[in-house]
A and B are shown apart, each in its own frame.
Chain A
Amino acid sequence: NAGVTQTPKFRVLKTGQSMTLLCAQDMNHEYMYWYRQDPGMGLRLIHYSVGEGTTAKGEVPDGYNVSRLKKQNFLLGLESAAPSQTSVYFCASKGRYSNQPQHFGDGTRLSIL
């Protein structure tokens, strides 16, 4: 049981380039989330999804887009990367019941030069 898998684990981009981060979960969870974590800080919510085909903005959505075309996958896109988006990105998923916890991936370390 892999849980939450994030691809890639590391990436270096140049300013203005685009890329997509992939999150896959094999727990049949309804909810999925994208967070970012900057050095010395807690995680901040970028976007989330309450089910297949639905997405919503979190605390820091600017500069990012997301899609949830399949229940098991949640994609995070950077259309034109900026140095301020250098961060560690974490994906999480959660089951439908309120008392179920979030399960996190191991993160994607993204550097934008």
Chain B
Amino acid sequence: DAKTTQPNSMESNEEEPVHLPCNHSTISGTDYIHWYRQLPSQGPEYVIHGLTSNVNNRMASLAIAEDRKSSTLILHRATLRDAAVYYCILRDEDSNSGYALNFGKGTSLLVTP
């Protein structure tokens, strides 16, 4: 499976934008870029995913580099509730693998008032 590289931790001030980077230089043409986050003492929750084009939803935006070797998750206005571990995951779209997710260590985001 293609792997991703994320910073171990980042810090942001409340109500400011946050840009969480992810490098995936060995991404293949069939890999989608998925982002999940895990709040303290909870299971992970889906944030956003994309293939080539930038994506927006109510939680965040995903900016994908033109060569697809990196991407950035953007939280437009961080709140204290956004403090979590954010995982950038490449997922093979081959259904025979069960669409399983390969979690790394992620980026621990600290949001300060």
Contact = CB atoms under 8 A, between A and B. Distances in A.
Interface of A: 4, 31, 33, 35, 40-45, 48-50, 56, 58-59, 90, 92, 94, 98-99, 101-107
Contacts, number: 57
In the A-B complex, the 4 residue pairs with the closest CB atoms: A104-B43, A42-B103, A101-B46, A43-B103
Contacts of A41: 105
A34 B39 CA distance: 19
Contact of A101 (B49, B95, B98, B104): B49
B81 to A, nearest CB: 17
Interface string B14-35: 0000000000000000000010
A72 B3 CA distance: 31
Interface residues of B, number: 21
A90 B98 contact: no
A79 B98 CA distance: 25
B49 A99 contact: yes
A56 B95 CA distance: 13
